[in-house]
Amino acid sequence: MDGIRSWFDYLSSRTDLVVETLLQTLAYVVTVTVAASIVSITVGVLTRHNALAKELSLSIASVFLTIPSLALFTIFIPIVGLGFAPSFIAMFLYALLPIMRNTVAGLDSVDSSVIESAKGMGLTPNQVLFKVQLPLAWPVILAGIRVSALLTVGISAIATLVAGGGLGDFIKSGLARLPLPNSLEAIWTGVILSLVLALAIDVVLRTVGRFSNPSGVRS
Amino acid sequence: MSTTNVVDNPETLPARRNQSVSQLDLIVIPVFFVLLAILLTVVWIYSDFDGTTTSILEPDRLWTQAQEQITVALWSTVLVIVLAIPLGILVTREGAPRLKNNLVTVLGLGQALPAYGLLVLFFVAFGQGTLTVVLALAAFALLPVLRNTIVGLEQVDKSVIEAGKGMGLNGFQRLRKIELPLAVPVIMGGIRTATIINVGMATLAYLIGGGGLGITIAAGLKLNRPVTILVGALLVALIALAFDFIGGLAQRYLRPKGLS
Amino acid sequence: MNPNPQGPQLEENKVTTPKISLRNVTKTYSGVDQPAVKDLDLDIASGEILVLVGPSGCGKSTTLRLINRMIEPSSGEIIFDGENVTNSDPNELRRRMGYVIQQVGLFPHRTIAENIAVVPKSLKWPKDRIRARVDELLELTGMDPNVYRDRYPKELSGGQAQRVGVARALGAEPDVLLMDEPFGAIDPITRFNLQNEFLRLQSELKKTIVFVTHDIDEAVKMGDRIAILRDQSEIAQLDTPEAILTNPADAFVVDFLGSGAVLKTLTLRRLRDIQLVHPPEITEQTGRADAAAQLRQSDFPYAVLLDDTRRPIAWVDQKNLDSSDSLDSNSRRIPVKLQPEDTLQEALSVMLQTSAGMSAVVDGSGQYLGTCTIQSLAELLTDQPVDGASL
């Protein structure tokens, strides 16, 4: 109980810092998820008729996920320097695969008879894509976006190691000051706020899903 | 953290895409490996090393760090396998469906857990040392193996199990002869992911005195030596790619014959 | 209601002990008020095919699965070979009963041979006996062992997979086969062939078979006896197919048989059961005028043209006789010759294919015996003592 009270004391005495780092992490999550969604969905759509291109994009995206986070965060430092840029690039590369894979899977899963009948009604290929395939694939794509967003929350803690800010700052400063007072509180702040943020993002994206999924399609 | 194979949501997607190793994976990974290796060679040969850089990038030292990194990753993978697969089997047995569903949901959210924070919390709890690192890594990498074990066992065609039951195979025989072999591809996918997570997280071990190539990267960051950072990061990436490749091969060749 | 839904067949069997008996068996699933199977008494005679048929949800599949205790009964007894097996080891029981399901459920990671060997292996048969048995069963089910032994299930078509499913169920020479809609997921033509082959197989093997289907046509074709079930696996009628079709016990059965019930009797009657008719027989040697006179004096629109060995060649009418063309070049040739063993349904379909509305019946050596006409079928149907207000 004492631990929890002292943690709340710690939080309430630093609301500005908490809000600032929370917003930094949120900024990463939003920019990374939006950028990765645009790129991944575009790639998924463009490669939908070419099995080789599709597989190749997925393989490359999955290689990024293989590279350890500290390596991917630091590998671009010689080119772009420290701070937001290398962190953004690394998280962007990580976030590609879940969305791309789900876009491909979502488009593949659209019943070919539905596409056939849409063509039969005289819809152009673009109309088929935007009016039939993407709406039907959307629940699956959104699930991929959700995974990427949650992944980004977790990984963004590393950004602090390349001076990128975010909730990882609490963990880093706590670790540096161990075992001084408030060091443990700082570490818990970083971990717990990450989970809270993840939960909040999860709720938001599920709500988005509920309202944006075509009615009649169970998500 | 790398979650190469467990990114899809079990609520919306069938798990079957976890099962197959894309042919291209086994080509693309080596291609990336070679490209990064060439980059490393070029950096190594054409960069001017000052005294500090030379001493950080001492080959013996790098070799020791690489060994530390790999050792920690492997031990933790073994620990994960020993813990997660039996647990996954347990929760998928008849009579525990509630537990399993909750577990899958929690495991999904677990992806948002900052590995960095977890590592530090384990340090606070268990102190400095290799064992702490192994435990922290295992705790984190447990998720994909547990999840894939559950998903892998769940996706086995119920009619096949039913047929086995109808032929008088008891629960243990059905598990051993039908369910586990048919879940192998998915479970292997989870183990491959766990290995990659462990190799990656072992880079952070330096933060709590666990050694590894993270030391080289951190030294480069601290002393502002971009070449050092790059060499460390490339070495780590090469190790991870090598493990992923081996994992891909295992996934491909350990899958039971007869599965499409 | 038929006062004796168990029908006559069982009375004949009364002296012999049934192979399997269900006694007062009830199955209630937890959380459900209504039992799925209520107070069921059922005797299955040795060597018969008993078909359980009924609308979906009537509990026929549950009933089948109670027999090998895939589902444990809530109350009642299961007697197998005179032994009460209600509380015996279910796995041991299942190894004594072959089990075939609609989805087949072949082990995808095992070869065909390994799939068939599952039960013999758990019974610890010696290796060479298992190998011989596997090949024997593949032969029996029409699969070349040399081709299929080492293949994996994914390389099989649906029909082939179910052949292997049947072979696997027969693996350890069980006396009993339980079949849950075994041909339900297979295309109609393949299903037709599998049904025929299975009946041929059964005529050699004489297993005791409980066969679940929702298809009354399949039930009529496959069953020695049929149990028509309604809700909670209550037996509406249990009898031979012919008795059920000609004498349905109540409105439920009439309804379930559907409007095609009378036509279905055609599948049960054979040509040898009916009186053949004899239109004028002519050969190429018969003079045209003579032939025309014979045809005019008969009631038939066609005469049958026979060759020297009395094989039927074509139907010939007045117009053919008037023209100067060769008689066997006309369009009403007789491509299909029926034999007395063929069913009336087959006769009907042959008649519908030829514009003459007649079909020639020959003996085993192809010699002409007589003719079956649409009229003779129609008379047979209207003479049928079909019970109730359904017609």
CATH, residue C319: 3.10.580.10
* B222's tokens: 């601290």
Instruction: Give residue ranges of B with CB < 8 Å to any C CB.
Output: 157, 159-170, 173, 177-178, 181-182, 256-260
Is there a contact between A113 and A54 (Cβ–Cβ < 8 Å)?
Answer: no
Stretch A198-215: mean pLDDT: 87
* Contact by Cβ (8 Å): A27, A87: no
In a domain, C161, yes or no: no
Partners of chain C (3+ Cβ pairs below 8 A): B
- The pairing of strands C49-53 and C176-180 is unpaired
Mean pLDDT of chain C: 86
Is the separation of the CB atoms in C165 and C100 below 8 Å?
yes
B13 is a domain residue: no
Label residue C152 by pLDDT band (50, 70, 90). Answer: very high
CA–CA distance, B98 with B88 (Å, rounded to integer): 13
User: Are C261 and C279 members of one domain?
Assistant: no
Instruction: Decide if C15 is inside a domain.
Output: yes
- CA-based nearest distance C177→chain B, Å: 11
Residues C290 and C328 in one domain: yes
Q: Which chains share 3+ C-beta pairs under 8 angstroms with B?
A: A, C
- Please state the rounded mean pLDDT for residues C354-373: 84
Indicate whether C328 belongs to any domain: yes
Residues of chain B found within 8 Å of residue A144, distances taken between Cβ atoms:
7-9
Size of interface B-C (CB pairs under 8 A): 77
Indicate whether C314 and C211 sit together in one domain: no
Q: What is the mean pLDDT of residues A162-167?
A: 92
Q: Tell me the chain A residues in contact with residue B212 when contact means C-beta distances shorter than 8 Å.
A: none
The C-alpha of B26 sits at a distance from chain A's nearest C-alpha, in angstroms, of 9
Q: Which residues of chain B are within 8 Å of residue A159 when distances are taken between CB atoms?
A: none
CB contact under 8 A, B114 and A194: yes
CA distance to partner chain B, nearest, from residue A128 (Å): 23
CATH number of the domain encompassing residue C84: 3.40.50.300
Contact residues, A window 179-208, toward B, CB-based 8 Å cutoff = 184, 187-188, 190-191, 194-195, 197-199, 202
Q: Please give the average per-residue pLDDT across B149-163, as a whole number.
A: 92
Domain that holds residue C47: 7-96+175-267
CB of A127 within 8 Å of any CB in chain B? no
Q: Which residues face C158 on adjacent strands?
A: none
What is the band of C10 on the pLDDT scale with cuts at 50, 70, 90? very low
Contacts of C99 in chain B (CB under 8 A): 163, 166-167
**Which residues does residue C77 pair with via DSSP β-bridges, in sequence order?**
C23
Q: Indicate if the pLDDT at residue C25 is higher than 80.
A: yes
Tell me how far apart the alpha carbons of residues C14 and B249 are, in angstroms, rounded to a whole number.
65
Number of domains in chain C: 2
Q: Do residues C89 and C223 share a domain?
A: yes
Q: Which residues contact residue C61 at a Cβ distance below 8 angstroms, ignoring those fewer than 6 apart?
A: C180, C181, C212
Query: Closest Cα of chain C to B178: distance in Å?
Result: 7
Contact between A182 and A3 (Cβ < 8 Å): no
Does the beta-carbon distance from B259 to C153 stay under 8 Å?
no
Residue A218 lies in a domain: no
The separation between the first and the last C-alpha atoms of chain B, rounded to the nearest angstrom, is 30
Nearest by CB: C91 against B170, B182, B256? B170
If phi > 0 it is left, if psi is from -120 to 50 it is alpha, else beta; for residue A83 that is left
Nearest chain A residue (CA) to B195: A66
CATH of the domain at A26: 1.10.3720.10
Taking the C-alpha atoms of residue C18 and residue C66, their distance in angstroms, rounded to an integer, is 17
In a domain, B14, yes or no: no
Across the range C68-96, mean pLDDT stands at 93
Place of tokens 């072949």: C106
Count Cα atoms within 13 angstroms, Cβ side, for B90.
Answer: 9
> Looking at the domain assignment, is residue A217 inside a domain?
no
Single-letter amino acid, residue C327: L
- Name chain C contacts of B173, Cβ cutoff 8 Å: 122
Domain assignment present for residue C163? The answer is no
Q: What is the mean pLDDT of residues C99-107?
A: 93
The predicted-structure confidence for B82-91, as pLDDT tens digits, reads as follows 999 999 999 8
Residue-wise pLDDT tens digits, C297-324:
888 888 888 888 888 888 888 888 887 7
Encode burial over C228-255: b for 16+ CB neighbours within 10 A, e otherwise: bbbbbbbbbbbbbbebbbbbbbbebbbe
Q: Which residues of C touch B160 (CB under 8 A)?
A: 105-108
According to the model, what pLDDT value does residue C178 have? 96
Question: Which of B22-26, C68-72, C316-320, C347-351 is most confident?
Answer: C68-72
Assess if residue C367 is contained within a domain: yes
- State the nearest Cα–Cα gap between A65 and chain B, in angstroms: 5
End-to-end CA distance of chain C: 18
Determine the residue type at C199: L
Nearest chain B residue to A158 by CA distance is: B116
Is the Cα dihedral A32, B190, B139, B94 positive or negative? Answer: positive
- How do residues B231-248 score in pLDDT, each as one tens digit? 999 999 999 999 999 999
In the listed set C243, C267, C291, which residue is the last one of a domain according to the structure? C267
Structural domains in chain A (count): 1
On whether residue A108 sits in a domain, the answer given is yes
Whether residue B9 is contained in a domain is answered as no
pLDDT above 50 (res C293): yes
B33 part of a folded domain: yes
- Can you tell me the distance from the alpha carbon of B121 to that of B127, in angstroms, rounded to the nearest whole number? 10
Domain that holds residue A59: 2-212
- Do C363 and C342 share a structural domain? yes
Q: Is the pLDDT of residue B1 over 60?
A: no
| Residue among C118, C155, C164, C173 with most chain B CBs within 10 A, to mutate | C118
A2 confidence band (pLDDT: 50, 70, 90): confident
Count of alpha carbons within 13 Å of C214, Cβ hemisphere only?
A: 9
Sign of the torsion angle spanned by Cα atoms C60, C64, C69, C70: negative
Q: What is the pLDDT of residue A6?
A: 86
Q: How many CB pairs under 8 A join A and B?
A: 195
Distance of alpha carbon C287 from alpha carbon C155, whole angstroms: 62
* Statement: residue A93 has pLDDT above 90: yes
Most C CBs within 10 Å, among B167, B174, B178, to test the C interface: B167
- Report how many domains make up chain B: 1
Taking only the tens place, the pLDDT of each residue in C369-380 is: 899 888 777 777
Q: Say yes or no: C230 and C298 in one domain.
A: no
* Candidate from C90, C101, C122 with C-beta closest to B163: C101
List the single residue in A59, A70, A198 with the smallest CB-CB distance to B22.
A59
Least confidently predicted of B4-8, B100-104, B222-226, B256-260:
B4-8
Whole-angstrom distance, CA of residue C364 vs CA of residue C385: 32
- C-alpha–C-alpha distance, residues C99 and C94, integer Å: 8
Contact (CB<8Å) B157/C105: yes
pLDDT one-digit tens code per residue, A101-141: 999 999 998 888 888 888 888 888 889 999 889 999 999 99
Confidence band, pLDDT 50/70/90 cuts, at residue B152:
very high
| List of chains touching A (3+ CB pairs within 8 A) | B
Q: Please answer whether residues B4 and A69 qualify as being in contact, where contact means their C-beta atoms are separated by less than 8 angstroms.
A: no
Would you call B109 an interface residue with chain A, using a CB distance cutoff of 8 Å?
yes
pLDDT at residue number C237:
95
The pair phi, psi for residue B85, each rounded to 5°, is -65, -50
Measure the CA–CA gap between A15 and A218, rounded to whole angstroms: 41
Which residue of B lies nearest to A98 if distances are taken between CA atoms? B7
AA identity, residue B3: T
Residues C313 and C334 in one domain: yes
Measure the CA–CA gap between C232 and C58, rounded to whole angstroms.
Answer: 6
Unique residue bearing structure tokens 């205790």: C69
Tell me, yes or no, whether C356 and C283 share the same domain: yes
CATH number, domain containing residue B114? 1.10.3720.10
Question: CB distance from A168 to chain B under 8 Å?
Answer: yes
Write down which residue in C248, C267, C286 finishes a domain: C267
Tell me whether residue B228 is in a domain.
yes
pLDDT higher than threshold 60 for residue C390: no
3-state helix, strand, coil in chain A (%, to 5): 85, 0, 15
HEC sequence for chain C: CCCCCCHHHHHHHCCCCCCEEEEEEEECCCCCCCCCEEEEEEEECCCCEEEEECCCCCCHHHHHHHHCCCCCCCEEEEEECCEECCCCCHHHHHHCEEEEECCCCCCCCCCHHHHHCHHHHHCCCCHHHHHHHHHHHHHHCCCCHHHHCCCCHHHCCHHHHHHHHHHHHCCCCCCEEEEECCCCCCCHHHHHHHHHHHHHHHHHHCCEEEEEECCHHHHHHHCCEEEEEEHHHEEEEEECHHHHHHCCCCHHHHHHHCCCHHHHHHHHCEHHHCCCECCCEECCCCCHHHHHHHHHHCCCCCEEEECCCCCEEEEECHHHHHCCCCHHHCCCECCCCECCCCEHHHHHHHHHHCCCCEEEEECCCCCEEEEEEHHHHHHHHHHCCCCCCCC
**Distance, CA of C367 to chain centre:** 29
- For B127, the domain range is 21-253
Looking at the complex, does the CB of residue A144 fall below 8 Å from at least one CB of chain B? yes
Q: Which of C297, C230, C188, C273 is nearest to C36 (CA)?
A: C230
Domain shared by C347 and C365, yes or no: yes
C104 domain residue, yes or no: no
Confidence of residue A1 (pLDDT cuts 50, 70, 90): low
Contact B160 C105 (CB under 8 A): yes
B139 near A CB under 8 A: no
Q: Residues B162, C101: contact at Cβ < 8 Å?
A: yes
Residue A154 and residue B7: Cβ atoms within 8 Å?
A: no
Q: Which of B4, B12, B105, B231 should one mutate to test binding to chain A, selecting the residue with the greatest count of A CBs within 10 A?
A: B12
Give the mean model confidence (pLDDT) for residues A182-204. Answer: 91
Contacts of C111 in chain B (CB under 8 A): 258
Domain contains B68: yes
Which residues on chain B are in Cβ contact (under 8 Å) with C122?
Answer: 167-169, 173
Question: Are residues C243 and C326 located together in one domain of the fold?
Answer: no
> Which residues of C are less than 8 Å from B169 in CB distance?
91, 118, 122
- Angstrom distance (rounded) from CA A105 to CA B18: 12
Distance from CA of B171 to the nearest CA of C (A): 10
Say whether both C259 and C302 belong to one domain: no
Chain A residues with CB-CB distance to B117 below 8 A: 157, 168, 171, 187, 190-191, 194
CB C344 within 8 A of CB C266: yes
Q: Do C and A make contact, counting contact as 3+ CB pairs within 8 angstroms?
A: no
The Cα of C103 is separated from the nearest Cα of chain B by a number of Å equal to: 6
Shortest CA gap B175–chain C (Å): 13
Find the helix or strand (DSSP H, E) in which B81 lies: helix B59-92
Assigned domain for B8 exists: no
Q: Is residue B119 part of a domain?
A: yes
